[in-house]
Structures are given as C-alpha cells and as structure tokens.
Amino acid sequence: MTKIGIIGVGHMGSAIIKGLKKNPNNKIITENPVNPCVDKLAKELDFEVTNTILDFMSKRPEIIILTTPAPITLKIAEELKNISKDTIIISAAAGISYLDLKKQLPNNAIARIIPNTPVAINAGTIGLFLSSDIDQNIQTKIHDFLAQLGDVIAVKESQLSIVGTIGGCGPAFVDVFLDALGDSGVLNGLPRELANELASSMVKGSASLAYESKLAPSLLRDQVCSPGGTTIKGVASLEKNSFRHAVIDAVNAANQN
Ligand SMILES: NC(=O)C1=CN([C@@H]2O[C@H](COP(=O)(O)OP(=O)(O)OC[C@H]3O[C@@H](n4cnc5c(N)ncnc54)[C@H](OP(=O)(O)O)[C@@H]3O)[C@@H](O)[C@H]2O)C=CC1
Ligand SMILES: O=C(O)[C@@H]1CCC=N1
C-alpha cells in the first residue's frame, strides 16, 4: 500500500485522484479547505479528507502531490517543513521553480510536473523535471509512480514551460476543436450527442495513429487527401483561415509566464 497525499482537490487534484484510484494499492489522503464538493467526491471515490496541513501531515503520506493554485504553493511547501525527509514532494504548480521549492524543503526529494486532465483516465501526458542531485533510485521511483497516470515526458526545467503548455493546456485547445466539430455536425443535421461522439472518436483515433505510427502529421494528412478530392478542399480552407497560425499563436500566448 502506498500512502499518497494530495494537497488541493480542485480540477487537477481530482483528476489525479481518479487516475490513482484505479490502483487498489494506492491509499489517498487529501488536504483542502472545507468544501462540500470535495467531501462529496471523497465519498464517491473513497479517499480521506483533512482540512489542515497539521492533520494531513499526521497521516504520514509517503508521496505528496501539490495541486494548489500556483501563487500559494510556496506557502504550502513552507507549512510542510516538518514533514519526514523521506517524503517525496511532487509539485504540479505551473511556474514555481525547483529552487524556490527546494528553499522551503531542503531535505526532501522534489519533482516538478505539469500533468494534464486525461490523467483521470490514466491517459495523461506528464511533463517531468527531476534535478540530477536526486538519488537515482528515487528518480526511478518517481518516474514509475507517475507512469501509472500516463506518458511521462522527462525534460530539463527550462523546457517544462513549453512542455506544460502543449501537454497541460493542450486538452483545452483540443476541446475547443471538438466543440467546433460537434457544431459542424449539428449544423449539418446530426443530433448533438452523436456529433460529439463522432468528433471525439475521430480525434482519439487520429491521435493514436500519429502516436503509434510516429509518422509526421503532414504525411498522415497526405494519406487522407485524395488528389482532387474533398479533404484537400477542407485543408485549403483551414489554411485560408490561418488555422495553423491560430494554433501556434494560442500556444505562444499560453506560454508567456
Ligand atoms: N487544471 C489543469 O489542467 C492543470 C493544473 N495545473 C496546476 O494545478 C494547480 C491547480 O490548478 P487547478 O486544479 O486547475 O485549480 P483549482 O482552482 O481547480 O484547484 C485548486 C484547489 O486548491 C485548493 N486550495 C486553495 N487554497 C488551498 C490551501 N491553502 N490548502 C489546500 N488547498 C487549497 C482549492 O480549494 P477550494 O477551491 O475548495 O477553496 C482547490 O480545490 C495549479 O498550480 C496549476 O498550475 C497543472 C497542470 C494542469
Ligand atoms: O491554466 C493553467 O494555468 C494550468 C497550467 C496548465 C494547465 N492548466
């Protein structure tokens, strides 16, 4: 049994809990200000809730994941200063540096991650930064622990921001695309539910083909565009409307910390 502590049961914290609960060997203890929604979720998913850091620390979690709003994450880290030095700390707070976290918790192994909401179904993309001063066995333990939530992409800390923007913010950009695809189905007479199912199934399959084949997206696109056919007309329309530039611009806008 691994005792995992989650501080901050909001959107990201909840998604991580859902993913971790698939493994019966994970025992989840959380800390969050009193919130009936968190208590309701705790009943549904069967995890423990505490409302103070002191109470939380008394449960002796082996691994702590910080999914609190970025601006208060260092304050939370400071409140954890009496935690056992063997406790592994994993911060999901975007933009909070390793050195700043290390100043608060100098004796603990600390990892920075940028996960994404698909961790809820163990299909996440998790950008990971591990400092080279962390013992190799602990690095492996952290990597293996996170792998139960999805694909772990280990990078330098300087790369974590863009990795987090594409991997962490990306689901929202894909959701905008899915929503627009659904609208186009409804515009052409499909019921909304069917249109949304069609759109998400198509994106799931296209992403899996790109991921598994490792072919460049431009080659996969060429395989769909029959000469003089319908798809190339749609692709030309996307180009006319600066679709690719809009995507690049969205990532750059989100990546400005
Ligand atoms: N959402 C995402 O997809 C991703 C988020 N992240 C990171 O995760 C973190 C949380 O984001 P997100 O889940 O979206 O935000 P939410 O606002 O949904 O969740 C934040 C949670 O933290 C709780 N909280 C606030 N203050 C405290 C405190 N003092 N002690 C304990 N818990 C507290 C809030 O409680 P309450 O509201 O009940 O008061 C809330 O449940 C951020 O640092 C963000 O950068 C990283 C990658 C992806
Ligand atoms: O919107 C945010 O700030 C967080 C970080 C990555 C995804 N969500």
Ligand 2: distance of its center to the CA of 242 in Å? 25
Which mean pLDDT values do the consecutive 10-residue runs of the chain (257 residues) have? 97 98 97 98 98 97 97 97 96 97 97 98 98 97 98 98 97 98 98 98 98 98 98 98 98 91
111-139 as b/e: b if 16+ CB within 10 A? bbbbbbbbbbeeebbbbbbbeeebeeeeb
pLDDT at 230: 98
pLDDT at 257: 63
The domain 2-154 having CATH identifier 3.40.50.720: the answer here is yes
Domain boundaries, the chain: 2-154, 163-254
95 annotated among ligand-binding-site residues: no
Topology adopted by domain 163-254: ProC C-terminal domain-like fold (1.10.3730)
Ligand 2: distance of its center to the CA of 115 in Å? 9
182 annotated among ligand-binding-site residues: no
ipTM: 0.98
31, 68, 175, best to mutate for ligand 1 pocket (most atoms within 8 Å of CB): 68
- Nearest alpha carbon, ligand 2 atom 2: 169
12 annotated among ligand-binding-site residues: yes
Closest ligand relative to 76 C-alpha:
1
| Placement of tokens 């659904």 in the chain | 182
| pLDDT tens for each residue of 206-218 | 999 999 999 999 9
